[in-house]
Copies of this chain bind each other. A is one copy, B any other.
Amino acid sequence: MERPPRMGSSLFPAPFQDLVDLFRRLPGIGTKTATRLAFHLLQSSESERQELASAVSTLKERLLPCSECRNIVASPPPESPEVPRCAICLDPARDSTILIVVEDIQTLYSIEKSGEFRGRYHVLEGRLSPLEGIAPEMLRVRELLQRLENPDIREVVLATSPTTDGEATALYLSRLVKPLGIRVSRIAFGIPVGLELEYVDEVTLIRAVEGRHPF
């Protein structure tokens, strides 16, 4: 990612301005918030700064992808023979007949937060995109098909985004999975719960009409 250009000549000394610039690169953080964060850290305790720095710096090495679904798992102690598996994949109470395919871990946790879905996940790690040159072999498609060899699985839910690429990915996967005799479904698109209809865009609205069901 590009570092955003400095705002004119900086008033701050370089080490402070550098931190402001690094914060400004983060999503949703503007110059004002970045400056406030930098001042906060300047005035906090040495231990608060070191704790944050260390959590950022070791984040990746302290996490591994789950060998089943690619959710994140805390790394096992070094030289542990354990194959990392996430809490969801290890939970015997989860329904192993249904697998939901998501593009990324954020979506996994969004679904998980509702507490309503009791099946398991498969993180695709992206979506097909001819424009960005993302082909099926760059996603975890092969691993999905391997997991589907498990005869327990009865249904695959495709939870890719309702974008052109996300739809193409869902279509591609459905064509691979259906011939295996496994039910394939797509998450429903429609009106977000709690939203006034006047604020809903037409594409969403027409998909909600198309997806109507008996009342």
Name A56's contact: one of B56, B58, B113 (CB within 8 Å).
Answer: B56
Distance between A60 CB and nearest chain B CB, rounded to angstroms: 7
- Residues of chain A in range 8-31 having any CB-CB distance to chain B below 8 Å: 11-16, 18-19, 22-23, 25-29
For the complex, what is the distance from the CA of A62 to the CA of B17, rounded to whole Å?
12
Which residues in B have their C-beta under 8 angstroms from that of A19? 55-56, 59
Which residue of the partner chain B has the closest CB to A45?
B1
User: CB < 8 Å: which of B1, B48, B50, B112 contacts A25?
Assistant: B48
- A interface, size bucket: 35 or more
Stretch at the interface among A36-44, A93-101, A136-144: A36-44
Q: Are B48 and A57 neighbours in the complex by a CB distance under 8 Å?
A: no
Residues of A within 8 A of B (CB): 1, 11-16, 18-19, 22-23, 25-29, 33, 35-42, 44-46, 48-60, 62-63, 72-75, 86-87, 105-106, 109, 112-113
